[in-house]
Amino acid sequence: MYDVIIVGCGPTGATLAAELRLHDVRVLVLERDTAPTSSARIVGLHMRSLELLAMRGLLERVRAHGRQRPAGGFFAAIDKPVPEGLDSAHAYLLGIRQPDLVRLLEEHAIAMGARVRRGCAVTGLAQDGEGVRVELADGERLRARYLVGCDGARSAVRKLLGVGFPGEPASHWTLMGEMEIGVPPEELGAAMARVGPTDRRFWIRPAGVGVFSVVVPAAGPDDPTLQDFQMQLKAFVGTDFGVHSPRWMSRFGDATRLVERYRVGRVLLAGDAAHIHPPIGGQGLNLGLQDAFNLGWKLAAQVDGTAPDALLDTYHAERHPVAADVLDNTRAQTELSSTAPGARAVRRLLAELMDFNEVNRHLIEKIAGIGVRYDFGPGPELLGRRLRDIDVRAGTLYGLLHGGRGLLLDRTERLSVGRFADRVDRLGDPTAALDAPAVLLRPDGHVAWIGDDQRELDAHLARWFGAPAA
């Protein structure tokens, strides 16, 4: 029996596997596809995801395969400069080919000791008080103490679980692909200048040497062909730009749905298996990565028996509202991309408001995930938020979080983690760039306690990390 079976080896599943392996959890990852996707789509890693990768020592490895761009102009593609005062040491967007990102995360999970099996489609599951039985398409049966569905928007785990997935079905579809074009740059530039400012559903942008990313509204939900691109470009722009030699083609809809429950007994959902929405703002992959970092240490504690009561339930309590907020902002951005007169008027008004730095920063931090605050009860504004990477005597704060453990950062040098030292590290550093006497950080970097009283600290250590060691 495995401790945890993860269904789906995309970014969310691979990240979760690595997080569990930090705590010696026996992990099997089942992937339906026999080989990684060949789609070379560029995805963007936002600030919060970059911070989480930095916390585990992965950022430099990932960044070597991507390209940085300024952290501005994300919200509804309204062209505004990078706001001042972004609260992150990684205030940029990292564009990276999705196959490269998936490969790097999978390699990391395997190096940590996770086992990955490809060509394994899940067709059945059943759970009892001791674990979950998984049935594969070839009839093989496997068993684990817990199962996590990270198997995407069409999640087999979610469907087998029978959990509700309310929201709005797709009503509009969009073609997306990478291909070559057959017109000179000046002709493309003229068309973009004519159509781009009024119809945000269309663009053609460079995506490599001689290759362009093409996005245009689709006629329907069918799998796209090159002829579909040519026809739709002619309909919306008046020319097909001589597109040819596609590298890959796909289409996406504007369906927006959020699962009712992230956990049903011993089965949990993460990433697109739990939430889907239009890709505007580039938040979907990031939301899934952040699900994995929230869940990993909690599920590991549940497996090893140290988790306090209801710790695993905080996964739903914390991540469901975050996803609901993402769905709302993608709904708003989609409306702002409409060519209807009313929507264009609202877009112009919002563009004026975004000239105020606070408004611009609020919207960028919302999309980038660094504005998230979990509800840990009353307390200072920092409570429940993630702490940005700061300089400490030992180097950098995130450098101390590579092992996936909790951390007490103590500027008073009087506090102790006591019998929680098997799960929580301590750094006494009066020079730390922190406007608080001491903070307790969870393994995902969120501030679980602020203060200078040892009794209060002990209570919060027990709240998040369970009973003290004997």
Average pLDDT of the chain to the nearest whole number: 94
pTM of the model: 0.94
Q: Rounded to whole angstroms, how far apart are CA atoms 238 and 173?
A: 20
* Confidence band, pLDDT 50/70/90 cuts, at residue 318: very high
Residue 379 lies in a domain: no
Residue 39 has pLDDT above 70, yes or no: no
Buried b vs exposed e over 32-48: b needs ≥16 C-beta within 10 Å?
A: beeebeeebbbbbbbbb
CATH number of the domain where residue 91 is located: 3.50.50.60
* pLDDT at residue 337, as a whole number: 85
Q: Based on the domain organization, do 249 and 261 belong to the same domain?
A: no
Residue 217 lies in a domain: yes
Inter-residue contact 25 to 297 (CB < 8 Å):
no
Residue 220 has pLDDT above 90, yes or no: no
Q: Based on the domain organization, do 98 and 32 belong to the same domain?
A: yes
Instruction: For residue 121, count other CB atoms closer than 10 A to its CB.
Output: 14
Q: Rounded to whole angstroms, how far apart are CA atoms 262 and 150?
A: 11
Q: Rounded to whole angstroms, how far apart are CA atoms 85 and 169?
A: 38
Query: Which residue type is seen at 361?
Result: R
Q: What residue ranges in 294-412 does DSSP mark as E strands?
A: 391-392, 395-396, 406-410
Question: Which residue among 237, 253, 269 closes a domain?
Answer: 253
Residue 99 has pLDDT above 80, yes or no: yes
Q: Based on the domain organization, do 199 and 221 belong to the same domain?
A: yes
The structural domain count of the chain equals: 3
Copy the structure tokens of residue 50.
């970059």
Residue 58 lies in a domain: yes
Q: Rounded to whole angstroms, how far apart are CA atoms 442 and 449?
A: 9
Starting at the earlier edge strand, list the strands of the sheet with 173-180.
Answer: 203-208, 211-217, 173-180, 244-253
* pLDDT at residue 226, as a whole number: 96
* pLDDT at residue 172, as a whole number: 87
Q: Rounded to whole angstroms, how far apart are CA atoms 306 and 274?
A: 26
Question: Which residue among 253, 282, 300 closes a domain?
Answer: 253
> 459 phi and psi, to 5 degrees?
-65, -40
Q: Based on the domain organization, do 63 and 161 belong to the same domain?
A: yes
* pLDDT at residue 144, as a whole number: 98
Q: Rounded to whole angstroms, how far apart are CA atoms 104 and 420?
A: 33
Is 101 exposed, middle or buried, given 0-12, 13-18 or 19+ CB atoms closer than 10 A?
A: buried
Q: Based on the domain organization, do 19 and 144 belong to the same domain?
A: yes
Q: Which of 171, 441, 148, 186 is nearest to 312 (CA)?
A: 148
Tokens 């889907």 belong to which residue? 276
Q: Which of 170, 150, 149, 173 is nearest to 285 (CA)?
A: 150
Q: Based on the domain organization, do 24 and 65 belong to the same domain?
A: yes
pLDDT tens column, 422-434: 999 999 999 999 9
Three-state SS at 189: helix
CATH number of the domain where residue 440 is located: 3.40.30.120
Residue 385 lies in a domain: no
pLDDT tens column, 112-160: 999 999 999 999 999 999 999 999 999 999 999 999 999 999 999 999 9
Mean pLDDT to the nearest integer, 27-55 = 90
pLDDT tens column, 373-423: 999 999 999 999 999 999 999 899 999 999 999 999 999 999 999 999 999
Residue 380 lies in a domain: no
Mean pLDDT to the nearest integer, 334-363 = 94
Q: C-alpha angle with apex 75: 72 to 77, nearest 5 degrees?
A: 80
Residue 60 lies in a domain: yes
Instruction: For residue 102, count other CB atoms closer than 10 A to its CB.
Output: 20
Q: Based on the domain organization, do 238 and 282 belong to the same domain?
A: no
> Cα–chain-centroid distance for residue 467?
31
Q: What is the DSSP string of 415-452?
A: ---GGGTTTEEEEE-TTSS-SSSEEEE-TTSBEEEE-S
pLDDT tens column, 225-242: 999 999 999 998 899 999
Q: Based on the domain organization, do 89 and 161 belong to the same domain?
A: yes
Alpha helices in 155-283 (DSSP H): 156-161, 185-195, 226-237
Q: For the chain, what's the residue count?
A: 470
Inter-residue contact 147 to 157 (CB < 8 Å):
yes
pLDDT tens column, 428-468: 999 999 999 999 999 999 999 999 999 999 999 999 999 99
Q: Based on the domain organization, do 162 and 309 belong to the same domain?
A: yes
Question: Which residue among 235, 253, 271 closes a domain?
Answer: 253
Residue 353 lies in a domain: yes
Residue 283 has pLDDT above 70, yes or no: yes
Copy the structure tokens of residue 246.
């596609």
Residue 40 has pLDDT above 80, yes or no: no
Q: Based on the domain organization, do 206 and 345 belong to the same domain?
A: no
Inter-residue contact 252 to 174 (CB < 8 Å):
yes
Buried b vs exposed e over 384-418: b needs ≥16 C-beta within 10 Å?
A: bbbbbbeebeeeebbebbeebbbbbbbbeeebebe
Q: Based on the domain organization, do 302 and 431 belong to the same domain?
A: no
Query: Which residue type is seen at 262?
Result: Y
CATH number of the domain where residue 230 is located: 3.30.70.2450
Residue 126 lies in a domain: yes
Q: Based on the domain organization, do 227 and 266 belong to the same domain?
A: no
Inter-residue contact 176 to 214 (CB < 8 Å):
yes
Query: Domain range spanning residue 133?
Result: 2-167+257-368
Q: Rounded to whole angstroms, how far apart are CA atoms 264 and 275?
A: 16
β-pair type (27-31, 2-7)? parallel
Tokens 């010696």 belong to which residue? 24
DSSP state of 385: B
